[in-house]
Structure 1
Amino acid sequence: MTKKEEDIKKRVIDHLYWDNRVDASKIKVDVKESEITLKGSVENYNAREAAVLDAWQTRGVTKVNNEISVKYPPAYTIPSDKEIKSSVENLIAWNPNIDSTDIDIKIKNGFVDLEGTVDAYWKKTRVEQIASGVSGVLEITNKLAVVPTEDIVDKVVAEDIASSIDRKFSVDIEDVNIKVKDGKATLSGTVPNWSAYRAAIESAENTAGVTEIVDNIIIT
């Protein structure tokens, strides 16, 4: 392992141990150049997502592979699939910004499939975030399709994404290429860090008319 790899690994491990949401003692960190692989287990899905985010946010990291599994403590009574489904459905229904009418939740052994439609891309990501907070969830597959309620031409969608990125201080619009076809937004280019990457992706996620995002951005 090179000195650079050792430094990156130490920063990731330190960041994991700093995060009170994560039991870092059960996570193994492997590094190859600037690419991180996380292995081991955590006690809930939110902790898994937190660990991945911690790695992404660490200086020097350009890619994160997530191989962490969710293993609930032996003394914990894991909810049944029926209970998990009910909890997810209720939380989505109680969210004032999301119409759950066309959302279908399927669960098998703690594995959640989100199916159906929503009318905005940010709602697709929000539904997944809601499901991730439910006890008993082991994995989530987001199959929600985005069907906007109004037609917005691709040129306008691309311009709106670009304008949003250009207004942000954490990312340079010159670093990001944007193409939109039939609502599918493809973002490419190279950015210097995770903050710039997320700023660009969030601009696409929150733009009206986006139905799908192809992420080809590289962190250098």
Structure 2
Amino acid sequence: MLLTGLVATLFEQEQAGDVAAGVSGVVDVNNRLEVSGINANLAEGLSASFLGEDKLSPATPDPDQALAARIRARYCWSASLHDQEMDVRVEDGRATLTGTVDTWLNRKHAAEAAHEAGAREVNNHLLVLPSAPVPNKHLAAAAHESLA
């Protein structure tokens, strides 16, 4: 399912994606909703501040850095991902995720969020903490394949 249009806040953007994902029969959500106007600038500034980035320094826009910032902002605003130990690197639109997460579902959500932020490809090298149970055979097989 593709979501497009304008919303007023990042919360509304995330909520719309969550609602769409909960619709019966939907297997994938491509959330391309844009946060409009001053709220987008405020949210970007808050996310950058939270992530320790200096928004006042003049720099040439780098699409890979902008994509990495969008991915980190999604993690920052996500209830399940904001406190996970993840690192994001982007090169030529390809995001590489490293670090650790608490659950297999968080690992999956991290990759989905990177795609939704605009990554054309995601190399998911996130490790799941040993105490996390594997939810089912299909997810375990997919996790094994992505590590290969």
TM-score, length of structure 2 as denominator length: 0.49
User: Where is the strand percentage greater, Structure 1 or Structure 2?
Assistant: 1
Higher relative contact order (CA 8 A, sep 6+): 2
User: Where is the helix percentage greater, Structure 1 or Structure 2?
Assistant: 2
TM-score, length of structure 1 as denominator length: 0.34
